[in-house]
A and B are shown apart, each in its own frame.
Chain A
Amino acid sequence: MTNTKKLVIGWFSFTCCEDSTILLTEMLNEHLSDWVKKIEFRYFKALKSDNSIVDLDVAFVEGAISSPSQEAELKKIRENSKYLVAIGSCAVTGQPSSCRNSLVPEEINYKISWYLSHFDYSKNVQKIEDFVKVDDMVSGCPMESKHFLEVVTKYLTLFNIN
């Protein structure tokens, strides 16, 4: 009997330059034909509008967390995913998206204050692991593509998908 189970994944972006998303779209040049047979992209906002965060096998999360609403979204992703992988430097370390954390008070001018007070910014920008359990990390700015492929292979194997 053929195993029809696909790895159900979500790809999420928080505060960052989305370079890992762009790198992933480049990796699709080579891998998409194979991956669509093995992977269901249940949440991938850059590529589809019909997205869902329910029953994910693996959530891939790029970017750092800037606000309480992003924190709540991240926790919701974690609750709905068996595994969660932090993708790229901002997700893994917070940097460089968290550079505003080190602005001294005299650098927080009225323009920055306006934005901080008109939207729900948290005091500090933080990495993913500060809020939820992270099962794997792919670091790099953008993510290191070879390591990312190894992580994808690891989860395909874990879920018995060949």
Chain B
Amino acid sequence: MHSGEITIENITKIEGSAGLSVKIEDGKVTDLKFLIKDYRRFYTQAVKGKPLIAVPSFLSRICGTCSIAHLLCAIEALEKSQNISPSEQTMKLRRLAYDGLMIRDHALHLYFFVLPDLLGIDSILDIPEDHDNFGHQLLHDSFEIKKVGSDLTTAIAGAIIHAPLPTIGGFLKTPDETLFPQLISQLEGIRGLVLRGIEAFASTNDQLVRNSDYLALRNDSNYDFLVGDVINSSGKRISEENYHAFMNSVIIPYSQAEGYVFSDTKEDYLVGALARVNLNKDLINKRTSNDAEKYLRIFPSNNVYHNNLAQAIEILNCVDDAVEILNTIHIVPEKIISSAPTAGIGVGVIEAPRGTLYHKVEVDAKGLVSDYDVIVPTAQNQINIENDLKKYFQENLSKEKDVLRLEAEKIIRAYDPCMSCATNFLKIEWIEE
């Protein structure tokens, strides 16, 4: 394609609404816009004035698929604002609920959104009812994998979406320990299926390599989504509280969400499973490392399609991590830790399925929220996605328009973007470029 325009009104098989428009003139990409189209709900404004106890469940409504991530990130920020340190048992239970989220959420993305690309079909709805068909086998694997993730989260947190049990200072109800043997057996039962998935998602020949910088949470003792410092591939390491200073927001006039670059270099960066495995693969669960060793050797990788493989490996990591915890934890009755409201500021940073998530709260002396800020993974990836697409189009202009469209969608899909998240907060500091 030498000159012309490519417009995708609605990118499909992603979470939420986004589009793409590309202008090509005389063999050059002259304009490319990745458009986040969900309408904003201004939740971080609406939360102001609310009592702090009401905040986590309200903000879990930012996103349907990763609501547990927003719930736990808000709880962390609020606990820190009130100087509350959750118990060891609470942290283990949160970790279990989160393993369940990662298993279900990654499996949804990989098997329902990405698998059709791998099979060369439009949709999982087109997979034939044939037990010998490879696509049929993987699809039915995914039903079991997703169900186990959901069962785990439900057993610990009460539901997979907008979970009712996790709260500031603990759990409103501790889980029924008699369910654990069954959960362990279910988790062991899907290991083989998860390994088959890893092999399948490693089989792609798709490649888009750009020298991206990566950012993720790191806890030096284990592969942790909830606790750690923020690190990047340039070797910087900062505490969660300083995360905001790490980046500048950039207005993207045609998008309903801001983008982000590093504050010092002004360079774009990538967050998500690829960043986590690139930066933390030495911390992956030992059992996972043994069984997925061949695939872990692929990392660190600069191929954005390997975000899919990284997610598949993380599913196994979460299965093995959950089995370890369930085998060793003994639930004791615990009271929720609470204290009289006090004025304070708290920051929560966790790894959501799609990358690093930041919540910051300011609470007044009456325990009411006076300010709130959220930075989500998809907003951080937005500029990286555009720059990847510019490189892709510039290098592939000889291809047919239909191929360009399909491959552009596949690149965007590899990021597992979530538009619901990207459009439902409002930045505190807005730096006009």
Q: Which residues of A contact B (CB under 8 A)?
A: 13, 15-23, 25-26, 28-30, 32-33, 36, 41, 44-51, 66-67, 70, 96-97, 99-100, 102-103, 107, 109, 111-112, 115, 118-119, 121, 125, 141-142
Contact = CB atoms under 8 A, between A and B. Distances in A.
Interface stretch (B123-131, B213-221, B261-269): B123-131
B15 interface: yes
A119 to B, nearest CB: 6
B12 A46 contact: yes
26 contacts: A17-B63, A20-B64, A23-B64, A26-B104, A26-B146, A26-B160, A30-B147, A32-B124, A32-B143, A44-B125, A45-B13, A46-B13, A47-B112, A48-B126, A49-B13, A49-B409, A96-B46, A96-B61, A99-B46, A100-B41, A100-B42, A107-B48, A109-B45, A111-B430, A119-B256, A141-B61
B43 interface: yes
Contact of B39 (A50, A99, A121): A121
B380 to A, nearest CB: 18
B67 interface: yes
Please list the 6 inter-chain residue pairs (A to B) with the smallest Cβ-Cβ separation, ordered nearest first. Answer: A19-B64, A48-B123, A66-B39, A99-B46, A29-B143, A49-B12
Interface in B52-93: 58, 61-65, 67
Nearest to B38: A15
Contact of B41 (A32, A46, A50, A99): A99
A103 B427 CA distance: 17
With a 10 A CB-CB cut-off, give which of B65, B112, B144, B426 has the most chain A CB atoms: B65
Contacts, number: 130
Contact of A18 (B39, B65, B124, B150): B65
B378 interface: no
Contacts of A32: 124, 143
Nearest to B257: A115
Nearest to A103: B45
A121 B113 CA distance: 30
Contacts of A109: 45
A48 to B, nearest CB: 4
Given A111-B426, A111-B430, A115-B256, A96 B12 contact: no
Interface string B409-428: 10000000000100010110
Given A25-B146, A29-B147, A46-B113, 15 more contacts: A13-B17, A16-B64, A18-B64, A20-B64, A25-B112, A48-B12, A49-B12, A49-B13, A96-B43, A99-B42, A100-B46, A103-B42, A103-B45, A115-B40, A121-B39
B419 to A, nearest CB: 9
B122 A107 contact: no
A47 B125 contact: yes
Nearest to B426: A111
B375 interface: no
A28 B143 CA distance: 8
Contacts of A67: 39
B212 interface: no
B67 A47 contact: no
B124 A107 contact: no
A22 B101 CA distance: 12
B143 A119 contact: no
Contacts of B160: 22-23, 26
B236 to A, nearest CB: 28
B344 interface: no
Interface of B: 10, 12-17, 38-43, 45-46, 48, 58, 61-65, 67, 104, 108, 112-113, 122-126, 129, 142-144, 146-147, 150, 160-162, 253, 256, 409, 420, 424, 426-427, 430
Nearest to B159: A142
B61 A17 contact: yes
Contacts of B123: 47-50
A11 to B, nearest CB: 12
Contacts of A100: 41-42, 45-46
Contacts of A102: 46
A51 B62 CA distance: 26
Nearest to A99: B46
Contacts of B113: 46
Nearest to B123: A48
A70 B256 CA distance: 15
A45 B10 CA distance: 8
Given A25-B108, A48-B125, A141 B162 contact: yes
Nearest to A14: B39
B420 A18 contact: yes
Contacts of B62: 17
Contacts of A23: 64, 160-161
A10 to B, nearest CB: 13
Contacts of A112: 42, 45, 426
B27 to A, nearest CB: 28
A41 B123 CA distance: 11
Nearest to A100: B42
With a 10 A CB-CB cut-off, give which of B40, B41, B67 has the most chain A CB atoms: B41
A30 B143 contact: yes
